[in-house]
């Protein structure tokens, strides 16, 4: 009887030691969520940014069969801001940059088939203008499905490093503001929904750009870095994995688990 009492006391004291003291906040639960980034789909992988449509279909099936849950990007951001937010087991996020027409012709049917939410980061100058891009009508149809959130990828996808070298400081500051503000305004006007998320073109960002994005009304921004999002990441530079045509089999599984290799 005495031995049972002492065993119970040891367990109790150990648990007590782990409890936060007065005024001490409890540690938030760990969080590690990969964001998978697609650009273009098609019958062949003509470049590093294109994934063949059959492979994307196989990847989505592997996600479904592997017990992963595709969650909206906004759900992940809510969990970063509020540690009490509960995420499903094995969550992942899927996004797409640029607004290529294959998002409508190839990805959208797969979104509907697998019932997955996707955030589309769009640079408006190309829409209904460039021959490689979607039209505003196609974007509206995807938006109306309830499966897509449409957010900003700047106005015309500049390389900020090049522009910073080319322009005088005041002109560069105005250029950055125009890229951030105009994209946000056009997308909000077109779809009547708040646009407050930004994908950095080419993944380029620095402290000056991050500050400008916050001043323009963005609450989070996304770069390119093959690692999962954790609570240690800056909200204005959250990492994303670019999905390639090589991400299959064991390599895909490693990516889904949030590893870079």
What pLDDT shows up at residue 1?
45
The string of pLDDT tens digits covering residues 29-71 is 679 999 999 999 999 998 989 999 999 999 999 999 999 999 9
What pLDDT shows up at residue 2?
47
| Domain boundaries along the sequence of the chain | 30-256
What pLDDT shows up at residue 10?
47
What pLDDT shows up at residue 19?
56
Nearest to 60 by CA among 78, 25, 36: 36
What pLDDT shows up at residue 20?
55
Check: CB of residue 35 under 8 Å from CB of residue 238: yes
Q: Which residues of the chain have pLDDT under 50?
A: 1-3, 9-11, 15-17, 261
* Rounded Cα distance, 232 and 230, in Å: 5
Strands (E), the chain: 35-38, 40-42, 50-52, 69-70, 91-98, 118-122, 148-152, 197-199, 220-222, 241-242
Kindly write down the DSSP assignment for every residue of 69-113, as one continuous string: EE--HHHHHHHHH-TT----SSEEEEEEEETBHHIIIIIHHHHHH
* Entry pTM: 0.88
Q: Which CATH superfamily is domain 30-256 in?
A: Glycoside hydrolase/deacetylase (3.20.20.370)
């Amino acid at each position: 009887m005495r031995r049972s009492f002492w065993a119970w006391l040891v367990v109790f004291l150990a648990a007590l030691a782990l409890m936060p003291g007065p005024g001490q906040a409890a540690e938030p639960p760990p969080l590690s969520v990969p964001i998978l980034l697609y650009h273009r789909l098609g019958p062949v992988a003509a470049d590093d940014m294109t994934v063949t449509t059959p492979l994307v279909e196989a990847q989505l099936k592997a996600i479904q069969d592997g017990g992963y849950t595709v969650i909206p990007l906004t759900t992940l951001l809510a969990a970063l801001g509020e540690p009490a937010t509960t995420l499903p087991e094995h969550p992942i996020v899927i996004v797409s940059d640029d607004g290529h027409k294959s998002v409508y012709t190839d990805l959208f049917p797969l979104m509907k088939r697998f019932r997955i939410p996707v955030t589309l980061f769009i640079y408006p100058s190309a829409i209904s203008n460039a021959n490689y891009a979607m039209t505003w009508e196609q974007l509206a149809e995807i938006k109306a499905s309830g499966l897509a959130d449409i957010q900003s990828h700047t106005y015309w996808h500049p390389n900020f490093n090049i522009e910073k070298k080319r322009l005088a400081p005041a002109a560069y500051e105005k250029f950055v503001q125009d890229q951030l503000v105009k994209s946000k305004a056009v997308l909000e006007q077109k779809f009547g929904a708040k646009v407050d998320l930004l994908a950095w073109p080419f993944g380029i960002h620095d402290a000056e750009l991050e500050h400008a994005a916050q001043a323009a009304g963005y609450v989070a921004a996304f770069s390119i870095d093959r690692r999962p999002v954790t609570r240690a990441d800056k909200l204005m530079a959250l990492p994303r994995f670019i999905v390639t045509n090589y991400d299959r089999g064991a390599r895909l599984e490693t990516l889904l688990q949030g590893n870079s290799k």
